[in-house]
Amino acid sequence: MISGLRSSVPACAAMFFAGTTSAADIASIHPIGFSADGQIFAYEEYGIQDGSGFPYANIYALDLAKDTYLPGTPLRVRLEDNDATIAKARWQARNDAEALIETHELANHPGELVAFNPITEVDEAPHRLRYRSMPVLPPVGEPNTLVLEEVPQPLDPRCEGLAEKSVAFRLRFTERDGKPVDDAVHEDQRVPLSRGCVGGYRLGGVVSGATPGGTGIEVALVLVLSAGFEGQDGRWIAIPIKTAGPGTP
């Protein structure tokens, strides 16, 4: 299924518009978990804004079937205090999200980070992940190959002088369980304003989970690289690539 982005917010976006925040920081990411029925996935991103030096932490809870935020989310914290720390920002964001996490029992189903490709990795392709969905040895199942393709877009006038290009992206599988396929699972219809002056993406990881009935769930983690004050900022979005579907036991 090709999922489009909503007109008001991007699907699972975790962005700030460049110029309204600080610059040149790559957010860290921490998956929180899935709901028991596989319908919800939550994750946290956090870091220090390079321009201001303020710590921030954001928690996103996503309805995977609808490819939208849950009502009342995302939860964003930025501590504008020179004595503030990342630990304090993360604690406040987690405290704000405590009821949501408990209601959906997200911490009881943390999922597995079955593939990860950080921006510091130099030997792996930034737009491709080949992985198995089951984190076990001996291996179970054959590999999947997920690729991200950047799609050039007209440059937003507000980004002139800040970015040389603007790009959307699509995700597709070229291999599932060891068999060649051509299976598109996401395609941007446009570049949402909340991504800022985006000039590129990195396919950063895959988190897998399962429902009590054994249906597999997978979410791709995409790092969005946008123009910042001193370089490129990196913020995370999560894209459902395999969902349980409504009513799955």
What whole-number distance in Å separates Cα of residue 94 and Cα of residue 98?
A: 6
CA–CA distance, 215 with 121 (Å, rounded to integer): 31
Kindly state whether residue 78 falls inside one of the protein's structural domains.
Answer: yes
Number of domains observed in the structure of the chain: 1
Dist. CA 88–CA 99, nearest whole Å: 18
Amino acid at 205: G
Q: Is residue 94 in some structural domain? A: yes
Q: From CA 75, how far away is CA 238, in angstroms rounded?
A: 15
Residue 21 counted as domain residue:
no
Q: Which of 89, 93, 66, 76 is nearest to 15 (CA)?
A: 76
Quick check: helix, strand or coil at residue 111? coil
Instruction: Pull the structure tokens for residue 81.
Output: 């205090």
pLDDT 10s digits, 43-89: 999 999 888 889 999 999 999 999 899 999 999 999 999 899 999 99
- 3-state percent breakdown (helix, strand, coil) of the chain, nearest 5: 10, 45, 45
Predicted local distance difference test score (pLDDT) of residue 18: 36
- The pLDDT tens digits of the residues spanning 66-75 come to 989 999 999 9
Q: Which domain holds residue 43?
A: 28-242
CB 42 within 8 A of CB 59: yes
Which has the closest alpha carbon to 90: 81, 106, 105, 79? 79
State the pTM of this model. Answer: 0.87
Q: Is residue 5 part of a domain?
A: no
CA 148/CA 131 separation, integer angstroms? 14
Read off the pLDDT band of 150 (50, 70, 90): very high
Structural domain includes residue 33: yes
Tell me whether residue 238 is in a domain: yes
Direct distance between the N- and C-terminal alpha carbons of the chain, in angstroms, rounded to an integer: 21
pLDDT in tens, 9-28: 333 433 333 334 444 699 99
